[in-house]
Structure 1
Amino acid sequence: MPYEFERKQRIVVLGGGPGGYEAAIAGAQQGADVTLVERVGIGGAAVITDVVPSKSLIATAEASNSIGEATDLGVQFFVRGENGKPTRPEVAINLAAVNKRLLGLARQQSEDMKATLIRAGVRLIQGHGRLDGSTAVIVSTAPGESGMDFERIEADTIVVSVGASPRILPSAIPDGERILTWTQLYNLKAVPEHLIVVGSGVTGAEFASAYRALGAKVTLISSRDQVLPGEDVDAANVIEDVFKRNGMVVLQKSRADSVVRSEAGVVATLSDGRTVTGSHCLIAVGSIPNTAELGLEEAGVQLTDSGHIRVNRVSRTSIPNIYAAGDCTTELPLASVASMSGRTAVFHAMGDAVNPIEIRNVASNIFTQPEIATVGWTQKQIEEGLVRGDIYKLPLSSNPRAKMMGIKDGFVKLFASTGSGAVIGGVIVAPKASELIFPLALAVEHRLTVDEVARAFAVYPSLTGSISDAARAMHVVN
């Protein structure tokens, strides 16, 4: 009897963002027959319209800010005028060139990811996929001569990673010209004269910070009593103080009932009847998962009332062979979490060793100026008694490297378990806090104590020295 080869496991991935990309790569590495279906481009919204372009824009804003702050360090910029006297030049932002660059970076990143998938042997299909029960996917691709083309793909494992889209307010419909979502900002040819930002969450705060640094007048409309609601209160207070000091108008406890076009720009009407006029308006009031009309409920996959896919700690849905990753799920809406979830899903589906995702160990960052990075338990949770912990906060103003760099705002805050001294969380507010949080993420992940963190040598002088100093101050006496 001829030898029968074992059939490869068939994996179909819906969505080519960070979660879908990593799921496809992981499946190919383990010898599976992988098909990835993506509507727009590999990388999804994270690469094409969200993380890559927005953080590239923020990098330009930081560069502009650095030029303005250089005077504090004794660096002055002058040119000679016609009379021979020095004249201070203006910092100009060519937003059309900036947007061209960042969209080019996004396209290049997408193409690089596509090339990696092809080299790995993943089959790529551009089109819209929907579940046909729990063991197949129907893909609609570009119309052919006889209409829309359809292909049915059998699957042993399905990974859904379709992301999310900006939430639209019925009373503030984006037109792509004056009233914009964050995916439409990159069509602007010049820095807005006056940008109204509706929503003071992470997205709203990041763009408000960036466009103020680029020279726009900015009004931030916040429905809460602080910007960045839900974040560390001390960190949010620092950012709000910086915003106001830099000339931003922050309207707290103010809800925008509507935003409409005017002859000269836009008018935002608040719930108390006040109006705010500007040249442009960014609507940043959250996102909704792209899970509608995917056949998920018909396949038995459980969704929340908001349309997010319920998953467990190995990214499995209520149907054993269907997994989900990324912003379309109940997990944290972070690219890093999506990537980890995609890998975890495939490892689990193929019987490989897997560590269930511990969301509390995830480091996250808000790319304002300065940045806010967090990991682990929060101060609020400690104060509410959910975990027993000690808190220590060290202002960056006491750090020698910060003084050299002219850094005046920010701090390092550590949370340690009462008694054992194990690091259970932390907050860093500083330039490039996204880089500085990694030592704390390692400490939380590996349950290091404050004494163990303090024993590691920090470069002198360095901003990381504040982490060592804070850990040393929390020494546990044996």
Structure 2
Amino acid sequence: MSLSFERTQTVAILGGGPGGYEAAIAAAQLGAKVTLVERASVGGAAVITDVVPSKSLIATADAAVAISQAGDLGVQLFARGGDGRPLKPEVAINLAAVNKRLLSLARQQSDDMRATLVEAGVRIVSGHGRLEGDNAVVVSTGPGGVDFDRIEADTLVVSVGSSPRELPTAPPDGERILTWTQLYDMKSLPEHLIVVGSGVTGAEFAGAYMNLGARVTLVSSRDHVLPGEDPDAAALLERVFTRGGMQVLSKARAQTVQRSGDGVVVTLADGRTIEGSHCLMAVGSVPNTAGIGLEEAGIQMTESGHIRVNRVARTSVPNIYAAGDCTTFVPLASVASMQGRTAVFHALGDTVIPLERRRIAANIFTAPEIATVGFQQADIDSGLVDGVVHKLPLAANPRAKMMGVRDGFVKLFARQGSGTVLGGVIVAPRASELIYPIAIAVERRLTVDQVSRVFAVYPSLSGSITDAARAMHIVDRATEPEV
């Protein structure tokens, strides 16, 4: 569909990550003349060095675990020795081959996205861009910043993403002290990986490398891993980590990280030291907003450098929008994509549904995965919402038993009285897929009774969702059909 304008609307987008990509596609579909400026590759860091390669690495780790645990299901792998006797093979990880594959996948995804943009009629300009006032982007397209391209537009969208936060007391060298963008240069599995930071990024990589066979120590400055997430989910994951051989150091703040020969030494605030072969610094990220003309254009920023946006991704300057990790909204690739589309819809006069944080589904790609949507346990415990909670262990699910799944649960939150689904948590294999029906229930304000009436395949992991909803049965006569 394209909208009818007195003249063709022009849209310039700074940054080709998920937010910028989706903004460009949406604007082209609505008939605008679109220019996308990207300094590296289409897809941005999310595709090249973050989401695509990291989740590909995790998929490899999941495969390694599935092979090593196949014996629990009666599957036995043997090779024949020279004397004809069976030998049980070891699972070996060729990390160089793994990294080559996942970087190739990232490049393929980037190329596919570029091809889609070109097919849609989007002009792509490679170079470093900055805003010039509120109606233009200036791009340095040549080496040394000599050549420039000036792009004027009615609407500007800023989607420049973020970069790993670096600490002066732990400067990354790309060899032994690493950010998550530098992990993919390793040729062999680290002998002892120390992960500093127990948030989502730290937990995901710590779990992945543990499952690939590395010795892992996770340094957490908080009481437990994944602070801020569902406490039951965090506690379960920490038990899985410990059972798998990971050393989890709680309330342990890293003071310095230093290179020591062919290894690293991490010094904690209490004076303890940890020696390892490599150290991954997973201590957050910073927005890529410095020096690109945002303040000069009058855009309101936070002290941390994030762009202030409202629920339609609009900044303080009416014709400038922003999407993704560089904004004050939720830093997820899916959210960046939605922000990009919403920004363009609003700017070009299409139908807009303002973004609502409570309707955003999120997932942590550990093993098991942890997926959430809507209001959470803390909201109910604090009295923010009047809700009831039901938690159903996954071990009771027949499909989970068949698959040999030991860890996980489904937790539903519903409003007291009406039974309207407020949110949920799923800890399970492929929780990122299983959370979708709960996300629909939250979006459409369904009750637990309505959810429980939907047929789930038997046996299936999704059956635990209907089982949990059925256990929260609240008769809502207003929704009952007339007979």
TM range (shorter): over 0.9
1:77 and 1:323 map into 2 onto residues whose CA distance is 56
2:7 and 2:107 map into 1 onto residues whose CA distance is 36
- 1:477 to partner: Cα distance: 3.5
1:371-400 per-position Cα deviation (integer Å, ceiling 9, x unaligned): 000000010011001111100000001101
Q: Which residue of 2 aligns with 1:460?
A: 458
Which residue of 148, 166, 169 maps to 2:167?
169
Q: Secondary structure at the match of 2:258?
A: strand
1:390 and 1:6 map into 2 onto residues whose CA distance is 53
Q: Which residue of 1 aligns with 2:133?
A: 133
Q: Secondary structure at the match of 1:458?
A: coil
Q: Would you say 1:190 and 2:171 are equivalent positions?
A: no
Q: Which residue of 2 aligns with 1:395?
A: 393
Q: Secondary structure at the match of 2:266?
A: strand
Q: Which residue of 2 aligns with 1:10?
A: 10
Q: Which residue of 2 aligns with 1:142?
A: 142
Residue identity in the other structure for 2:177 = I
1:71-124 per-position Cα deviation (integer Å, ceiling 9, x unaligned): 110111111223332221100111111111000000010000000101111110
Question: Structure 1: which 5+ residue stretches go unaligned?
Answer: none
Q: Secondary structure at the match of 1:204?
A: helix
1:264 and 1:25 map into 2 onto residues whose CA distance is 47
Residue identity in the other structure for 1:54 = S
Q: Secondary structure at the match of 2:141?
A: strand
2:198 and 2:21 map into 1 onto residues whose CA distance is 30
Q: Which residue of 2 aligns with 1:303?
A: 301
Residue identity in the other structure for 2:81 = G
Q: Which residue of 2 aligns with 1:57?
A: 57
Q: Which residue of 2 aligns with 1:413?
A: 411
Which residue of 333, 341, 344 maps to 2:342?
344
Q: Secondary structure at the match of 1:57?
A: helix
- 1:128 to partner: Cα distance: 0.9
1:379 and 1:136 map into 2 onto residues whose CA distance is 46
- 1:221 to partner: Cα distance: 0.2
Residue identity in the other structure for 2:92 = A
Q: Secondary structure at the match of 1:25?
A: helix
1:45-68 per-position Cα deviation (integer Å, ceiling 9, x unaligned): 000000000000000000000011
Q: Would you say 1:110 and 2:110 are equivalent positions?
A: yes
Asked whether the equivalents of residues 191 and 214 of structure 2 are also in contact (C-alpha less than 8 Å), the reply is yes
Q: Which residue of 2 aligns with 1:37?
A: 37
Q: How many percent of aligned residue pairs carry the same amino acid?
A: 74
2:299 and 2:406 map into 1 onto residues whose CA distance is 50
Q: Which residue of 2 aligns with 1:263?
A: 261
Residue identity in the other structure for 1:150 = F
2:267 and 2:223 map into 1 onto residues whose CA distance is 19
Q: Secondary structure at the match of 1:129?
A: strand
Q: Which residue of 2 aligns with 1:93?
A: 93
Residue identity in the other structure for 1:262 = S
1:28-59 per-position Cα deviation (integer Å, ceiling 9, x unaligned): 11111111000000000000000000000000
2:151 and 2:77 map into 1 onto residues whose CA distance is 62
2:460 and 2:149 map into 1 onto residues whose CA distance is 57
- 1:350 to partner: Cα distance: 0.4
- State TM-score, norm by structure 1: 0.98
2:352 and 2:41 map into 1 onto residues whose CA distance is 29
- 1:212 to partner: Cα distance: 0.4
Q: Which residue of 2 aligns with 1:363?
A: 361
1:239 and 1:153 map into 2 onto residues whose CA distance is 49
2:143 and 2:242 map into 1 onto residues whose CA distance is 52
Asked whether the equivalents of residues 449 and 475 of structure 2 are also in contact (C-alpha less than 8 Å), the reply is no
Q: Would you say 1:80 and 2:80 are equivalent positions?
A: yes
- 1:10 to partner: Cα distance: 1.1
Q: Which residue of 1 aligns with 2:422?
A: 424
Q: Which residue of 1 aligns with 2:373?
A: 375
1:412-447 per-position Cα deviation (integer Å, ceiling 9, x unaligned): 000001111010100000011001000100000000
1:421 and 1:324 map into 2 onto residues whose CA distance is 37
Q: Secondary structure at the match of 2:147?
A: strand
1:185 and 1:460 map into 2 onto residues whose CA distance is 41
Q: Which residue of 2 aligns with 1:333?
A: 331
2:189 and 2:262 map into 1 onto residues whose CA distance is 15
Residue identity in the other structure for 1:29 = Q
Give the superposed CA RMSD. Answer: 1.0
- 1:6 to partner: Cα distance: 3.7
2:276 and 2:26 map into 1 onto residues whose CA distance is 48
Question: Structure 2: which 5+ residue stretches go unaligned?
Answer: 477-483
Q: Which residue of 1 aligns with 2:479?
A: none
1:246-285 equivalences in 2 (<5 Å): 246-285=244-283
Asked whether the equivalents of residues 411 and 425 of structure 2 are also in contact (C-alpha less than 8 Å), the reply is yes
- 1:8 to partner: Cα distance: 1.2
1:264-304 per-position Cα deviation (integer Å, ceiling 9, x unaligned): 31000000000000000000000000000011111110011
Residue identity in the other structure for 1:196 = I
Q: Which residue of 2 aligns with 1:20?
A: 20
Asked whether the equivalents of residues 78 and 88 of structure 2 are also in contact (C-alpha less than 8 Å), the reply is yes
Residue identity in the other structure for 2:124 = L
Residue identity in the other structure for 1:442 = I
Residue identity in the other structure for 1:159 = V
Q: Which residue of 1 aligns with 2:179?
A: 181
1:144-163 equivalences in 2 (<5 Å): 148-163=146-161
- 1:140 to partner: Cα distance: 0.8
Residue identity in the other structure for 1:302 = Q
Residue identity in the other structure for 2:374 = G
Q: Secondary structure at the match of 1:16?
A: coil
Residue identity in the other structure for 1:141 = T
1:152 and 1:67 map into 2 onto residues whose CA distance is 55
Q: Which residue of 1 aligns with 2:227?
A: 229
1:436 and 1:153 map into 2 onto residues whose CA distance is 44
- 1:217 to partner: Cα distance: 0.1
Q: Secondary structure at the match of 1:372?
A: strand
- 1:347 to partner: Cα distance: 0.5
Q: Which residue of 2 aligns with 1:473?
A: 471
Aligned length: 472
Asked whether the equivalents of residues 395 and 406 of structure 2 are also in contact (C-alpha less than 8 Å), the reply is yes
- 1:471 to partner: Cα distance: 0.1
Q: Which residue of 1 aligns with 2:481?
A: none
